[in-house]
Amino acid sequence: MAFQPIIDLRDSRIDSHEALVRGPQGEGAGVILARPNAVYEPRACIRRTLDAAARTGFPLDRLTFELTEDERIADVGHMLSIITEYRRHGFGIALDDFGTGYSGLARLAALRPDCVKLDRALVKDCDTDRIRLAIVASMVGLASAIGVKLVAEGVERIGEVEALRGAGVRFMQGFYFARPLFEDLVPEAEIRWPVPVPS
């Protein structure tokens, strides 16, 4: 497992870390999702997560499960019942890779996540692509209107950081700040911080 920080640019601090799960052969989440997991065996996943949190003293309200926007959900009702069960235990829900699928806004309305993570496809070159930046700015307004946390993923350049900050994005994640660190959290001293905006 590797950990990558999510940065709170307004407060210049690490907001949280995303745990990037890899399978035994190093495969990504797409392969892991084909196995019994949080969607196919939610009770078992919840039980294991609750047990691990109890053993370590980790607060449940700091745990968020991610669904990718491009995951095929054949039975939305079933998915909503799983999300309800996760929330009943205090877990957050994030919609990951937002902007890569065809049903993004419909899925956002149906699943009502606590967090939306903008995909790198929307973030890449947003400092030089006015259409991408306009989409990001409209997502900032939408997220604010519906009370959802917005995270820009895949931030790799200072130009992107500045454009996103100018559009009102508070939370960012990507190689610009820190690469994922295996088996441990990235220390705050190892984060590359952009120059603060003068008040």
Catalytic residues: 153
Residues 65/113, Cβ–Cβ less than 8 Å = no
| The amino acid at 161 | V
Q: What residue has token string 């294991």?
A: 48
180: closest CA among 21, 4, 45? 4
Q: What residue has token string 């190689």?
A: 175
